[in-house]
Structure 1
């Protein structure tokens, strides 16, 4: 099933401000929150869909990529998952969404019977660390861009500590529930105002919002739950990507401390220049240099394409500046909306040095009226030239 447009999901326009996006997401999150819709799978999916849309549109870099490339700019392959699914489509849990966006309500309680995103002070209120993103560059030639390609990267990154399984504690008794917040990760304070008693929820100052306290730190990772390591990641680059485009692979960045949320892997596309073809969006341009006899008499010439050569018929009397269009020989759109063309721009080669026989032959041709442009041809060329300045 095709993904819905993120602006449509939040019911905002493309010109909306970041504050309008935040308000729209808050409205959707309240409407479809699991606490208000227990057992409703459709509401749960819409809740996740809204969180995914907010994750992209609230981030200026992600929003810019989405506006330019659509869903393919976020996942690296059309229909292959968004920032929550990345390239693998694994998805994030509800707790991941709560931990990343739970502060959207500003920590206040009283929204439809649930407090913030926590639903009543459960584990979803606990703080979860998020690992940092990783960035890599990938060089692609036009052949790889035209078909899409799979690339492998060996990443040096933070990974989960095997000794403590990411908890940061030494042994099973190394972690205890925080006595201040009783494991919820947050505390509620009552404050008297002219409007009555107001409740505010904030991160527990004792455990920093995690809900647990480490009694004995892991001897391997020093209590962080992460260590330096390596991982080989396979990335599917979709067809039609362009220079400067940045793809996102969710969950393949650095691991988060204490079994937190992993960061993303950001892949920046670099396009290698082709020896013959020039890219113009999804079209390709080739400059065909014809000899004067072929331009005058006509014939057949070979034109390079991305992966082969094709023969093209040249009509007699072909003029310099004429553009031949080979439909469908360009690059596919990254969003899957058709394929570009190969535009062949015709130029005429004039030799710089001639021998006596060549000079004599051309001088005789020049005496012929057929080799002198008529007034109609002159006018046609002038109009074409003038149009360049209009």
Structure 2
């Protein structure tokens, strides 16, 4: 799994600033060196802090999303991310970047990565998204699942070029083979130069006599692929796993994007989940509640015994420590909360009825047959 800033905080790429701040607070609580016993706590805390600083700065976040993790870090080494897009443009010498007041964001791409955002240089492919549904047992144990996705793949017939290998080529006359068209306009702040991808050759700088019939010149085709994804124990609904280089193919020799897998954990028939804790409702009889008993309680890791104290009330909750869900990327487990419910029998034999009538009379209760003995008895407790 990638260590990009979104995955460090465990948030989606469209997360709000509030969600990012909340995620950082949770990480800080977990990994702050003063409170955590994790051997790598300091490093994890620094990563979370750095991720929060970038993703809560609108300009830096925009740059990070456009450039990707590795390219953003490379630009940061050169001080190109300071002050957001304005700081990047300031490296060129003019108010809009470049020697003559050039193109801000495009200039920094040209300086560090050999391109102005056009298709003339290698570009990483787009990230893809999909969803995978698992059951609570899978989330408890952590499993490897097969996932089928329909995604673009590099065209096998033209190897992503978009044209047959033997197609005739000529230089694009609209951009003189540059792949870009530049326009200059006058503003109150001076001349501003803008660069855009040439629409005639789509940034290639070359026009070909034929297009690939398989991909219709797109360079990629849709194919169904089966992948294996590792589900970590303790994952929750809504969390996203990142599969490196399993997204859309890159352009001009660039790497593939990533595949983002959003996890949905199905509701369970017996257990309700609350974070790392589980809740379970267990029925007990009236004699068990009165005299106490030891009962077997199901968990996701087998059955355990639990003591019911004498005089237990219906609705009372007991806590079984470390019998809940595993804590994601942490040691230990949550707890299992067992709420007991006293079950009122609806069919009594004669012997049971006489015994309970004697019990009620011994307590000074008058039995109202119309109301029902157990309704009367239940109200007395």
User: Which residue of structure 1 lines up, in the alignment, with residue 296 of structure 2?
Assistant: 302
User: Which residue of structure 1 lines up, in the alignment, with residue 218 of structure 2?
Assistant: 224
Q: Is the 8 A contact 1:282 1:341 kept in 2?
A: yes
Q: Deviations over 1:301-358 (max 9, x none)?
A: 1000013100112222222222110111111344647532100101111211212211
Matched, 1:22 2:84: no
Q: Is the 8 A contact 1:155 1:232 kept in 2?
A: yes
User: Which residue of structure 2 lines up, in the alignment, with residue 11 of structure 1?
Assistant: 53
Distance 1:254 1:28 in 2: 16
- Compared CA separation, residues 206 and 106, structure 1 to 2 (3 A): farther
Q: Map residues 248-327 of structure 1 onto 2, 5 A cutoff.
A: 248-255=242-249, 262=256, 264-327=258-321
Moved more, 227-236 or 352-361: 227-236
Distance 2:333 2:50 in 1: 27
Distance 1:219 1:168 in 2: 9
Matched, 1:187 2:181: yes
User: Which residue of structure 2 lines up, in the alignment, with residue 109 of structure 1?
Assistant: 102
Structure-2-length-normalised TM-score: 0.65
Matched, 1:155 2:149: yes
Q: Which runs of 5+ in 1 are unaligned?
A: 15-19, 35-41, 55-104, 373-381, 383-390
Shift of 1:371: 10
Q: Deviations over 1:111-157 (max 9, x none)?
A: 59x82422289445423788676554423222210122211123333
Structure-1-length-normalised TM-score: 0.63
| Partner SS, residue 316 of structure 1 | coil
User: Which residue of structure 2 lines up, in the alignment, with residue 204 of structure 1?
Assistant: 198
Moved more, 327-336 or 279-288: 327-336
- Compared CA separation, residues 203 and 135, structure 1 to 2 (3 A): closer
Q: Map residues 72-91 of structure 1 onto 2, 5 A cutoff.
A: none
Q: Is the 8 A contact 2:54 2:60 kept in 1?
A: no
Q: Is the 8 A contact 2:125 2:256 kept in 1?
A: yes
Matched, 1:214 2:214: no
Distance 1:33 1:253 in 2: 16
Q: Is the 8 A contact 1:282 1:339 kept in 2?
A: yes
User: Which residue of structure 2 lines up, in the alignment, with residue 119 of structure 1?
Assistant: 111
Distance 1:371 1:300 in 2: 30
User: Which residue of structure 2 lines up, in the alignment, with residue 79 of structure 1?
Assistant: none
Distance 2:281 2:216 in 1: 62
Distance 2:348 2:145 in 1: 52
Distance 2:124 2:136 in 1: 36
Matched, 1:145 2:187: no
Q: Is the 8 A contact 2:102 2:192 kept in 1?
A: no
Distance 2:61 2:48 in 1: 11
User: Which residue of structure 2 lines up, in the alignment, with residue 165 of structure 1?
Assistant: 159
Distance 2:329 2:154 in 1: 36
Distance 2:151 2:65 in 1: 36
Shift of 1:199: 2.5
- Compared CA separation, residues 208 and 147, structure 1 to 2 (3 A): same
Q: Deviations over 1:77-98 (max 9, x none)?
A: xxxxxxxxxxxxxxxxxxxxxx
Moved more, 205-214 or 326-335: 205-214
User: Which residue of structure 1 lines up, in the alignment, with residue 93 of structure 2?
Assistant: none
Q: Is the 8 A contact 1:176 1:213 kept in 2?
A: yes
Match of 2:74 among 16, 41, 44: 44
